[in-house]
Amino acid sequence: ETGVTQSPTHLIKTRGQQVTLRCSSQSGHNTVSWYQQALGQGPQFIFQYYREEENGRGNFPPRFSGLQFPNYSSELNVNALELDDSALYLCASSSNRAIEEKLFFGSGTQLSVL
Amino acid sequence: EDQVTQSPEALRLQEGESSSLNCSYTVSGLRGLFWYRQDPGKGPEFLFTLYSAGEEKEKERLKATLTKKESFLHITAPKPEDSATYLCAVQESGGGADGLTFGKGTHLIIQP
């Protein structure tokens, strides 16, 4: 059984650019959530996808968008990057939409915006 | 106002020295309270889910408890491999996929 994998592991971008982060869910999981973790902070919920549709969203602007594919893999897209977008981006999968089910996190993508 | 507050921010213990981490929360209705462990450079790893006041769960040297306002993570006779950041998170009731609200974590160091 494979775990949650994210790519790339590290990324450097400049302000104003666009970035796409990728996530492969754990086998058998149909729900994926994305979190942003700034240095020294806890993860902050961005959004959740279930069966290819956005199922819930945290307090993030529309320039943060996502996709979920039929194989339940997912992408996080961020447009018009700002310096404050520098953070660890975590993907988490679960076996259903009920978030009280435990989440399985990937190791994250460390994004630096210069 | 923070919904989840963890204390202390950092804790250094000697191997075998037991202690407790605190998580205070303020939500209108609690669907679940979660404890995760996060090692440097890794994503959080699930430890426990607690649903109602009075509930307790144990795993090896860890025991989590829940009241109506806070949760404790008790660490008994810790070992150096227990060193990590421990994150507390809550999910509010009311339907919808609102995600988990995390605290900032407690950075725990166990010295040999």
Interface check for A13 against chain B (CB to CB < 8 A): the answer is no
Partner residue opposite A45 with nearest CB, options B31, B44, B99 = B99
Q: pLDDT tier at A97 (50, 70, 90 boundaries)?
A: low
Instruction: Please report, for residues B14, B25, B39, B92, the alpha-carbon distance to residue B3 in angstroms, rounded to integers and kept in the order given.
Output: 31, 5, 24, 10
Asked whether the beta carbons of A37 and A88 are under 8 A apart, the reply is yes
* Tens-digit pLDDT profile for residues A54-68: 988 999 999 999 999
Asked whether the beta carbons of B44 and B37 are under 8 A apart, the reply is yes
Closest CA to A39 of A82, A87, A85: A87
Closest CA of chain A from B5, distance in Å:
11
* Tens-digit pLDDT profile for residues B44-80: 999 999 999 999 999 999 999 999 999 999 999 999 9
Can you give the pLDDT at residue B97? 62
**Host H or E run for residue B110:** strand B106-111
Q: Which residue of A has its CA nearest to B101?
A: A44
Closest CA to B46 of A2, A100, A45, A66: A100
Partner residue opposite A56 with nearest CB, options B42, B45, B98 = B98
* Tens-digit pLDDT profile for residues B13-38: 999 999 999 999 998 888 899 999 99
Residue A95 pLDDT > 60, yes or no? yes
Share of chain B above pLDDT 70, in %: 94
Can you give the pLDDT at residue A72? 85
Can you give the pLDDT at residue A26? 86
Can you give the pLDDT at residue B28? 84
Q: Which residues of B touch A (CB under 8 A)?
A: 4, 31-32, 34, 36, 41-46, 49, 51, 87, 89, 91, 96-105
Closest CA of chain A from B87, distance in Å:
7
Residue A102 gets which letter from DSSP? P
Can you give the pLDDT at residue A34? 97
* Tens-digit pLDDT profile for residues A5-16: 999 999 999 999
Can you give the pLDDT at residue A88? 98
Asked whether the beta carbons of B73 and B6 are under 8 A apart, the reply is no
Mutation site, B33, B102, B104, B106, interface A, largest A CB count within 10 A: B102
Three-class secondary structure of residue B80 per DSSP: helix
Partner residue opposite A107 with nearest CB, options B43, B87, B102 = B43
* Tens-digit pLDDT profile for residues A16-50: 999 999 999 988 888 999 999 999 999 999 999 98
Chain A residue numbers touching B103 (CB-CB < 8 A): 42
Cβ contact (<8 Å) for B43 and A105? Answer: yes
Can you give the pLDDT at residue B1? 57
Asked whether the beta carbons of A24 and A105 are under 8 A apart, the reply is no
